Amino acid sequence: MGRILSRREVITTVILLAAALSYWSPLGLAAPLVVIPLVAALWFFARERRIRAEQVATLRVILQHASDLILIVERDGRLRRVLGASATLLGDAESGGRLIDHVHEDDVPAVLRYLDAGTGEAEFRLRHADGSVRHVHAVAADLTRDERVRGLVLTVRDDESRQALRHRAWHDPLTGLANRALFDERLTETGEPAVLFIDLDAFKPINDRLGHAAGDEVLRIVARRLQTCVRATDTVARLGGDEFALLVEAGSELEVAARVEEAFADPFAVGGELLVVTASVGVAAGGEDVLAAADRAMYAVKRQHARDDRLPAAGLGDSDGRGPGTR
């Protein structure tokens, strides 16, 4: 696009044109009657063109500083335009490249299906030029029939903040385990749940003698050890305080309970000391309120410990009376 004439340049040009017409035209002085509408038309045209140019320039600046990444993409994944937060989310993406080249390899099939559909929303991972991975949320608009665009418009937003908020809402900040809300959610989704309710014995004296920092470290060690007792599909949760719960596959609960007992066998290295930490474990399977049943079984084990007047390495009890507890 050529240079846009200013208002003064347009008026000057038209005045010169009018003077020339007045001199050469047989209309003589009547020429201004012809030229004046022409002046108005040219000035209006120049004004509108300048406004459009300013709008385009403003839009370009806004897009360049947008927090979202805006992509115009072909169905085959070729990038036609890259606008917005490309430096933040991609680093080196250029028009003419392929979106797939920047997608995490595990997400490529899903992204290809998403591009083929051409509409809707999707969550996937982008690989930045520096090697880091960004979780993103994308919204697609199919403008392939629009002659001005002729492609899919993807608005891609960094989803890390939302992922972090989601994680905080469902996880215990101290241990990183599932919290009570996530545990309850998964419990309701499980057809035949089995639950282990775990409560640390004599945890308060550890806090009182060594301080809360040492107590927190004990809880973190417990969390790590409990995670070694279950499968990847099971759930380990901190319900609050020194109470933990495991949601496991029905039929595996006693085997898992035995592994929990072994997990407490070794002392805990905390604050330069080796602490013997014990726990009472209640087991329950099936039923509508299986967590409450496991809680009751756990307290039965604690009462037995009190009767024995000593703390075993770990106590095991179940809601069906399958044993008074073992050490």
Catalytic residue set: 242
Helical H runs in 160-202?
Answer: 160-170, 180-189
Structure-block tokens of residue 91:
């680093």
SS3 assignment for 278-308 = EEEEEEEECCCCHHHHHHHHHHHHHHHHHHH
Q: What distances in angstroms separate CA 178 from CA 70, 170, 174, one per listed residue?
A: 35, 6, 11
Confirm if 160 and 172 have CB atoms less than 8 A apart.
no
Structure-block tokens of residue 296:
């009751």
Q: Which amino acid is at 93?
A: A
CA dihedral for 279, 243, 293, 186, sign (positive or negative): negative
